[in-house]
Amino acid sequence: MNRIAARVTSSLLFTCWIAGCAADVGGAPQASDGPAPNSAADQPLEERLIDREYPYLHGPSRDLVCAAYELVAPDGTVTEGQREWYPIANMNRHLRNVGTPEAVPHIDEAFRTELAERGIDRVETCDDARAYVKLSHEQLERADLDAEYPGTPPDIDAYYESKGGLVDKIINGEPWDHPSTVSIGTGCTGNLLNRYAMLTAAHCVEEGAMWMEIFVKTRPDNAKHCISHPGDGACPTAFPKNVFAIRHPQYDGTTYVYDQAVVFINEGWYGLGADPARWTRVAYDAGLTHLTRFFGAPIQLVGYGVNNDAAEHAGYGRRARGVQLIDGISSSGLLFKTVRETEDDGGICRGDSGAGVFTTALLPFPVTLGIVSHFADVKGACADVGTTRSWHSIVDGQWIMDVVNFMTSSASCERISANIFGATHYYVECF
């Protein structure tokens, strides 16, 4: 039995260790992606509703599927597309647990009362589930986004003085495309962690104790380089299943928090994906995110989604134009947002979910602070201009480190400390 397959049978036990077996993990697709813009072989695809009776229950958690789509290539090849599905067991459990020690912060008495005013005491139908998710999104839009810097802010002047004067810590405006950013065949973006693992959004993958197929490619020179299968060129249209995905145990599909998943490839990434220079580092906790916002340091958005409102040119790596800043951090400390203020500013589009949001200002190398999860208002296929919030899930570096170390025997992740403005912060690097 090979290195990752040997651990698949233990993955449920690992989930119990991390989450205490408190809940089944599920998730509904977010509005940031929609149907996959292209197939693994970069052919234009037709999205087609699968002809069957809806709704139906799916998977061990008995999630409610309200629609399911298949993708049809010009040559007739049919691949599975996205489902509109809802974790109704999680939703109803959250409603029951309001006011108890098992309650979750984003589902409180006010939420339950407002949902009841809409005629919903228990989620049973697709319309119930849609109303639940819509209300949770509205709650988040109204949430406090002015989390204070934790602890005592660093004394920047004293730090510079101790270093003998001004430190040139920010390089801004130079072209930059993070090498770990890749395109995955679910219509999303991912970030390579090491030879066997990749980080993406939880809503981009279907989790379960089963193997699945995900096609992964990169194109740093505008040429296709498949890294999930041998051959280096375009990914094949079909291949034996070789990928296992684990979502964050606290992601439940009802909000954007913990919208993170780690994808493991059995044989290791091929070609460019095997180069350690292409593996990202991730923040260990929210500390670097708070620091980045406190200093007003620029961040970088990079993704493989479409690059204009008309949903054209998907599958090419791109970075957002202009200077991107963290506009707010949720009071829970689990999310941050960015705003596309003008037409000339960059923003996220369909297909960018799962992309990393990086800082290049605090350390000599890029560090992933968050994962692109969702944008609330759209203009065509992209975030609209104005006060639109694009939500990013702050990475849980400790969980990422633990799950990669558990699943891959020949690779490891380590927590590494860094002194930034006189304070100790941590990031995770995988080898």
The residue type found at 178 is H
Predicted model pTM:
0.73
Domain membership of residue 361 (yes or no) is: yes
Question: What was the pLDDT predicted at 207?
Answer: 60
Domain membership of residue 108 (yes or no) is: yes
Give the count of domains, the chain.
Answer: 2
Q: What is the CATH number of the domain that holds 361?
A: 2.40.10.10
2-11, 27-36, 360-369: which has the minimum mean pLDDT?
27-36
Is there a single domain that holds both residue 304 and residue 387? yes
Domain membership of residue 403 (yes or no) is: no
- Tens-place pLDDT, residues 412-421: 899 999 988 7
* Full residue range of the structural domain in which residue 75 is found: 18-141
Is there a single domain that holds both residue 163 and residue 111? no
Question: What was the pLDDT predicted at 25?
Answer: 26
- Tens-place pLDDT, residues 163-174: 443 333 222 223
Q: Measuring CA to CA, which residue among 243, 255, 312 is closest to residue 106? A: 255
How many percent of the chain have pLDDT more than 70?
68
3-state secondary structure the chain: CCCCHHHHCCHHHHHHHHHCCCCCCCCCCCCCCCCCCCCCCCCCCEEEECCCCCCEEECCCCEEEEEEEEEECCCCCEEEEEEEEECHHHHHHHHHCCCCCCCCCCCCHHHHHHHHHCCCCCCCCHHHHHHHHHHHHHHHHCCCCECCCCCCCCCHHHHHHHCCCCCCCCCCCCCCCCCCEEEECCCEEEEECCCCEEEECHHHCCCCCCCECCCEEECCCCCCEECCCCCCCCCCCCCCCCEEEEECCCCCCCCCCCCCEEEEECCCCCHHHHCHHHCCEEECCCHHHHHHHHHCCCEEEEECCCCCCCCCCCCCCEECCCCECCCEECCCCCEEEEECCCCCCCCCECCCCCCEEEECCCCCCCEEEEEEEEECCEECCEECCCCCEEEEEECCHHHHHHHHHHHCCCCCEEEEEEEECCEEEEEEEEC
Domain membership of residue 287 (yes or no) is: yes
Mean pLDDT of 306-322: 52
Is there a single domain that holds both residue 313 and residue 392? yes
- Tens-place pLDDT, residues 213-230: 788 888 777 678 889 988
Arithmetic mean of pLDDT over the chain:
75
- Tens-place pLDDT, residues 376-418: 555 556 777 765 568 899 999 999 999 999 888 766 899 999 9
Is there a single domain that holds both residue 28 and residue 128? yes
- Tens-place pLDDT, residues 136-164: 767 766 655 556 666 665 554 554 455 44
Is there a single domain that holds both residue 22 and residue 135? yes
Domain membership of residue 310 (yes or no) is: yes
Is there a single domain that holds both residue 292 and residue 392? yes
Rounded Cα–Cα distance for residues 366 and 223 (Å): 24
Domain membership of residue 414 (yes or no) is: no
Is there a single domain that holds both residue 160 and residue 288? yes
Domain membership of residue 300 (yes or no) is: yes
Is there a single domain that holds both residue 290 and residue 352? yes
Is there a single domain that holds both residue 131 and residue 38? yes
Is there a single domain that holds both residue 28 and residue 57? yes
Question: What was the pLDDT predicted at 96?
Answer: 92
Domain membership of residue 56 (yes or no) is: yes
Is there a single domain that holds both residue 102 and residue 163? no
Is there a single domain that holds both residue 358 and residue 308? yes
